Amino acid sequence: MATAMDPESYTTTKFTLNNGTTIPGVGFGTYRIRCGDVIMKVVDEALAAGYRMFDTAAVYHNEGHLKKAFQTLLPKYGLEREEIFITTKLSPSDHGSLEVVRKAYKHSLDNLGLDYVDLYLIHFPGTAKLACDDKRNIDIRNMTWASLVDLYDNGLVNAIGVSNFTVKHLQQLLRSNHGVIPAVNQVEWHPFYHQQELLDYCKENDILLQAYCSLGGTSANNDSLLKHPLVTKIANKLEVTNAQVLLRWALQQDIAVIPKSTDPRHIKDNIALNFTIPNEDMRILSDLGSHKIKYAWDPSVVV
Ligand code: NDP
């Protein structure tokens, strides 16, 4: 059996969701990793490094590769299915009735080779093929959430949540009173793009924020964040890497992270976050937000 990294060297931070289940503070993002061989290699590296949470989505088109990786690698590390946390997301083209959502969820489960996922998210507040300002988005979003609640109430999924929801979208959802509050809101969150109002709203309503694009995303122009001189200065002072500073900055705000990497060194570094950023440096990093550089799609335009 393969051995994992010494737990002392990586963070074992976990967050408790509003339904009592726990989620690792650091997970592994898989956006744009589509090749089966690469998925096998990075999941192997990730499990060895201590990751126990994996983030995918129907639209990433890699659920099938993850199935093979889990089937091969969980036995290699002596891990049971229950010891890893898997998130997938409902595509914007599958919003709506229970029938449509059930079918999409079953499709993801079949692709992943699983009986359940730990967390199922509405990927985006807007519905495919509807204009962002089309008011039907609101009703369809509510119906979609009701469908997820049905999956949850019937014990088909361990937790449900949303992604890319703004305060307005969350308020609309909570007002419609479906009896279940999203456990997680997965959003773009890094020193160039973060909103205190959203964090406060989520904390008040016991919704865990999970950050994506913590390192500037997978786009080619992500270096402005990773190589920012102030990030470098803090990293040098703390004797860690720039990426570790960016990830730890989120964790210290009680925000979970899901960095993506195909580089074995980066995969190890991104979970080795057992250090503390002093308050004054946390403030310096948060103040970089005045630039408001956004790397991913913008949900604020969706009604
Ligand atoms: P990240 O912010 O995680 O950045 C990934 C990029 O950073 C890659 O180019 C990677 O290159 C590089 N990188 C990773 N670690 C390091 C390191 N230690 N040092 C230097 N460079 C590093 O981007 P993502 O957009 O992938 O976001 C993370 C995850 O969030 C996604 O994979 C996906 O699971 C999720 N996501 C969710 C979205 C949503 O709408 N809900 C939208 C976007 C992402 P390399 O491979 O060479 O290490």
What average pLDDT score do residues 141-158 get? 98
Q: Is 41 in the pocket of ligand 1 (CB under 6 A)?
A: no
Q: Is 260 in the pocket of ligand 1 (CB under 6 A)?
A: yes
Q: Is 218 in the pocket of ligand 1 (CB under 6 A)?
A: yes
pLDDT of residue 121: 98
Q: Encode pLDDT of 168-184 as tens digits.
A: 999 999 999 899 999 99
The question of whether 201 is a catalytic residue gets the answer: no
Strand partners, 90: 122
Q: Is 125 in the pocket of ligand 1 (CB under 6 A)?
A: no
**Is 139 a residue whose pLDDT tops 70?**
yes
| Maximum CA extent, the chain | 54
Its CATH architecture, for the domain 7-290, is: Alpha-Beta Barrel (3.20)
Q: What percent of the chain has pLDDT over 90?
A: 91
Ligand 1: centre distance to CA 30 (Å) = 8
CA dihedral 187, 191, 192, 193 (to 10 degrees): 30
**Is 3 a residue whose pLDDT tops 60?**
no
Q: Where are the domains of the chain?
A: 7-290
Q: How many CA atoms lie within 13 A of 293 on its CB side?
A: 21
**Is 50 a residue whose pLDDT tops 90?**
yes
pTM, entire model: 0.97
Q: Which candidate, 85, 105, 45, places its Cα nearest to that of 69?
A: 45
Ligand 1: centre distance to CA 87 (Å) = 16
Q: What confidence category does residue 292 fall into, taking pLDDT thresholds of 50, 70 and 90? A: confident
| Residue among 30, 90, 194, 261 to mutate when testing ligand 1 (max atoms within 8 A of CB) | 261
Q: Encode pLDDT of 186-228 as tens digits.
A: 999 999 999 999 999 999 999 999 999 999 988 766 788 999 9
Buried b (16+ CB within 10 A) or exposed e, 134-152: eeebbebbebbbbbbbbbb
Atom of ligand 1 lying closest to residue 215 CA: 2
